Structure 1
Amino acid sequence: MLPPLDALLETAHVVALPLVTRFRGIETREALVMQGPQGWTEFSPFTEYDDEEASAWLRAAIDFGWHQLPAPLRTSIPVNATVPAVNADQVAGILGRFPGCRTAKVKVADPGQSLADDVARVRAVRDALGPEGRIRVDANGLWNVDEAEHAIHALAEFDLEYVEQPCATVDELAEIRRRVKYMSVPIAADESVRKAEDPLAVARAKAADLLVIKTQPLGGITAAARIVAQAGLPVVVSSALDTSIGLSMGAYLAASIPELEYDCGLGTAALLAADVTNDRMLPEAGAVTVRRVDADPALLSEHAADTARRDWWLARLARCYALVEANPGL
Structure 2
Amino acid sequence: MGEAAPLPPWTEPAEACLAALRGARAAVDRDEPVAVDDLPPAAAHALSLAVADATARRDGRPLAASLAAEAGLDAPATAVPVNATVGDGSVDETVAAAEAAVADGFDCLKCKVGARGVAEDVDRLRAVRDAVGDAVGLRADANGAWRREEAERAVDALGGVALEYLEQPVAAGDHGALRALRGRGVPIAVDEAVNAPSGAEGWPDPVEEHADVAVLKPMAQGGPGATVAAARRLADRGVDTVVTTTIDAAVARAAAVHVAAAVPGGGDRAHGLATGGLLARGVVDDDPAPVADGRIAVPAGPGVAGEAFDGVV
Normalising to structure 2: TM-score of the pair? 0.71
- 2:7 matches 1:46: yes
Give the distance between the partners of 2:253 and 2:99, measured in 1 at CA.
19
Which consecutive residues of structure 1, in runs of 5 or more, have no partner in the other structure? Answer: 1-35, 301-330
Aligned counterpart, 2:147: 144
* Aligned with residue 254 of structure 2, among 239, 248, 254: 248
Deviation at 1:57, TM superposition (A): 1.0
Q: Secondary structure at the match of 1:44?
A: coil
Aligned counterpart, 2:193: 192
Deviation at 1:86, TM superposition (A): 2.6
Preserved contact between residue 202 and residue 208 of structure 1 (Cα < 8 Å):
no
Task: From the superposition, tell whether residues 120 and 220 of structure 1 become closer, same or farther in structure 2 (CA, over 3 Å).
Answer: same
Deviation at 1:208, TM superposition (A): 0.8
Aligned counterpart, 1:60: 45
Give the distance between the partners of 1:144 and 1:53, measured in 2 at CA.
32
Letter in 2 for 1:173: L
Letter in 2 for 1:147: E
Preserved contact between residue 60 and residue 216 of structure 1 (Cα < 8 Å):
yes
- 2:225 matches 1:218: no
Which consecutive residues of structure 2, in runs of 5 or more, have no partner in the other structure? Answer: 18-39, 56-62, 69-75
Letter in 2 for 1:278: D
Task: From the superposition, tell whether residues 246 and 203 of structure 1 become closer, same or farther in structure 2 (CA, over 3 Å).
Answer: farther
Deviations 1:211-257 (A, max 9, x none): 11111100011111121122222111112222232221211111212
Task: From the superposition, tell whether residues 230 and 131 of structure 1 become closer, same or farther in structure 2 (CA, over 3 Å).
Answer: closer
Letter in 1 for 2:168: Q
Preserved contact between residue 251 and residue 266 of structure 1 (Cα < 8 Å):
yes
- For this pair of structures, how many residues does the alignment match? 254
Deviation at 1:118, TM superposition (A): 1.9
Give the distance between the partners of 1:133 and 1:209, measured in 2 at CA.
20
* Aligned with residue 165 of structure 1, among 151, 162, 168: 168
Q: Secondary structure at the match of 1:275?
A: coil
Give the distance between the partners of 2:205 and 2:169, measured in 1 at CA.
13
Deviations 1:265-315 (A, max 9, x none): 1112244454333323432122112124546989x9xxxxxxxxxxxxxxx
Task: From the superposition, tell whether residues 285 and 217 of structure 1 become closer, same or farther in structure 2 (CA, over 3 Å).
Answer: same
Give the distance between the partners of 1:152 and 1:158, measured in 2 at CA.
10
Q: Secondary structure at the match of 1:212?
A: strand
Preserved contact between residue 118 and residue 153 of structure 2 (Cα < 8 Å):
no
* 90-99 or 252-261, which deviates more: 90-99
Give the distance between the partners of 1:240 and 1:106, measured in 2 at CA.
17
Letter in 2 for 1:167: V
- 2:117 matches 1:109: no
Structural mapping, 1:284-303, within 5 Å: 284-291=292-299, 292=304, 294=308
Preserved contact between residue 80 and residue 260 of structure 2 (Cα < 8 Å):
yes
Preserved contact between residue 200 and residue 227 of structure 1 (Cα < 8 Å):
no
Compare the two structures and name the one with the higher strand fraction: 1
* 54-63 or 83-92, which deviates more: 83-92
Task: From the superposition, tell whether residues 208 and 62 of structure 1 become closer, same or farther in structure 2 (CA, over 3 Å).
Answer: same
Preserved contact between residue 170 and residue 205 of structure 1 (Cα < 8 Å):
no
Q: Secondary structure at the match of 2:109?
A: strand
Deviation at 1:140, TM superposition (A): 1.2
Deviations 1:61-87 (A, max 9, x none): 222223233516122111111112233
Letter in 1 for 2:290: L
Q: Secondary structure at the match of 2:88?
A: coil
Deviation at 1:126, TM superposition (A): 2.1
Aligned-residue sequence identity (percent) comes to: 32
Aligned counterpart, 1:265: 272
Aligned counterpart, 1:15: none
Task: From the superposition, tell whether residues 234 and 47 of structure 1 become closer, same or farther in structure 2 (CA, over 3 Å).
Answer: closer
Aligned counterpart, 1:7: none
Give the distance between the partners of 1:272 and 1:124, measured in 2 at CA.
29
Give the distance between the partners of 1:189 and 1:246, measured in 2 at CA.
21
Q: Secondary structure at the match of 1:156?
A: coil
Preserved contact between residue 146 and residue 169 of structure 2 (Cα < 8 Å):
yes
Normalising to structure 1: TM-score of the pair? 0.68
Deviation at 1:47, TM superposition (A): 5.5
Preserved contact between residue 81 and residue 294 of structure 2 (Cα < 8 Å):
yes
Give the distance between the partners of 2:162 and 2:202, measured in 1 at CA.
29
